Structure formats: C-alpha cells, structure tokens
Amino acid sequence: MSNFSFIRSIRKMYQCFVDKPLDNGTIINNLYQISHVIGSGSYGIIYYCKDIQTNEIKVLKQLRPSKNRTKSGVALFENEISIISRLQHSNMPQFYEAFSVNGSFFYSMNYIEGINMEDLIFSTNQTFNEKEALAFMLDLLSLIGHLHERYIIHGDIRISNILTNKGKLFLIDFGLSKIEQNDSKFLEMKQGDYYDLGEVLLYLLYTTFSSKNKKALPWTEELSLEKKTVKLLKNLLQIDEAYTTLECIVKDVEDALLEITKN
C-alpha cells in the first residue's frame, strides 16, 4: 500500500469515527429532538426532527464534525446558510435558524414531504414520455428562474435534488450554491445550471427508452425525439450554441411542446 493510500485510509477511518450521527432521541439546542437520519453528504448530516415546543416536524442539518476544523468546510456551511436564508419560495427549503452546540454547527429548516426523483425513476420505475418530460422542465425552470432573479446559482441541479409531491416539484440541497452579482461572471456560471437542466431532461427522456443494441449509442441516435426537443437538448448541453437567458430556454420548451401537440 502506498503512503497516499495509507493516509487516505486513516483519514476515512477518522471521519467514520468522528462523523458518527447523533443518536435518535437526542435533543439539540433544547428544541430539536432527533428522530432519525434522512440523508448525508460529504459535508453534512441531515436529521428528521420534532420541534418539542410546537410539535412540528423539522429538518436539522449538521456540518460533519470532521469538517468543523477546516476553514473551507465551515465557510461552505456558512455560505449554504446564507443562501437558504434568502430563499422565499414555497417549493424550496424554509430557513429557521443557525446555531452551534459543543463546537458543532447546525441549521434548521422546514420538512418538505415528497419523493426523491431518483427514487421515483429507479425504484418505482416511473416513466416520462417526451411531452411529460418537457412539462416537467417548465415547472423546474420556474424554480431556477426564482434563483437566477436573485443572482443565485444552484450548482447541483440533478434528479436526486428534486422532490415531487402531488404533481408539485421541490428543489433542495443548496450546499454548492453561490451568489454572484458580477454580471459577466453570473452569465458564465449560469451555463452550469443550464447544462444540469439538459442532463435532467435527458434522464427523464431515457425512462421510456429500451435498448435494442448491445452497443451504446449517442442519445441523438438512441432517442426518437421531435426536432425542437433535439435543438433544446443540444443548446442546453452546449453541443450547439449555449443559451444565455432562461427566457430563451422557456420559449424553446414551449415551442417543443407545441410541436408535439401539433403532431
């Protein structure tokens, strides 16, 4: 084993020990009683909790203790809090408060009930035809528009960060989000969100795809799509000229839906 591999193994063992989730039933900040862990990432642990004063269900996010000692880890967590606290949309997390307990950093937000799109597609085998996928994109674009109007770049738009409940979409996980008020930099950074939107659309369109070839082919050959949907995808994925505004994307989605309706 190389020195690098050995050090990495020791680091992982340390993180597993230090980042052990809080026990179920633990009360944090004299207010939040932890029920169970509902998610975890490289920087945070997310708990399903009860507010013992109001009996409301809430979500508590903890910065992994192993990241507490790094300036970059704390800075990312503080940036996420700054982003979350700016959101004012019923289909996004609602921020309550941030605090620290015994050197650990937390913030609380509302609990959003819904099923993760990744689970919906891969666990329940939900499919989306071309029309349904484009309609889904229109709903998602309205959420991204809310962010971009506030100079917020989500930075991690993917099916695992989208929840759905009774036909409504919810956008979550702002751990990689950024605020950029410099117009030229903002225009450049938006391209990342646009590209992610193309990837999401491609995921949805592939839910109805059944391969007849042993060899994988490019999506342009595997998927049978209307011309305007192909154009939309090529622009989003920057195969052709990239989009510069969300309004142009919305128009092209609407045009692609109209083409399907006519045909």
CATH (domain of 94): 3.30.200.20
Q: Kindly report the average pLDDT of the chain as a whole number.
A: 92
Structural domain span for residue 249: 115-262
SS3 call for 156: coil
Q: What is the percent of the chain with per-residue pLDDT over 70, rounded to a whole number? A: 94
Does the pLDDT of residue 158 top 70, yes or no?
yes
Residue 248 lies in a domain: yes
Q: Residues 170-227: pLDDT tens digits?
A: 999 999 999 999 999 999 999 999 999 999 999 999 999 987 777 778 999 999 999 9
Does the pLDDT of residue 123 top 60, yes or no?
yes
At residue 6 the predicted structure's pLDDT band, cuts being 50, 70 and 90, is very low
Mean pLDDT of 231-243: 97
Q: Which of 62, 89, 110 is the last residue of a domain?
A: 110
Q: Residue 105 corresponds to which tokens in the numbers above?
A: 């950093």
DSSP line for 93-134: --EEEEEEETTEEEEEEE----EEHHHHHHTS-----HHHHH
Q: Are residues 40 and 136 in the same domain?
A: no
Quote the CA–CA distance of 234 and 231 in Å, as a whole number: 5
Q: Are residues 26 and 130 in the same domain?
A: no
Question: Do residues 51 and 58 make contact, with C-beta atoms less than 8 angstroms apart?
Answer: yes
Residue 97 lies in a domain: yes
Q: 141: domain CATH number?
A: 1.10.510.10
Number of domains present in the structure of the chain: 2
Mean pLDDT of 100-126: 94
Mean pLDDT of 85-89: 92
At residue 23 the predicted structure's pLDDT band, cuts being 50, 70 and 90, is very high
| Residue from 23, 51, 119, 156 carrying the catalytic annotation | 156
Residue 1 lies in a domain: no
Mean pLDDT of 244-252: 97
156 is catalytic: yes
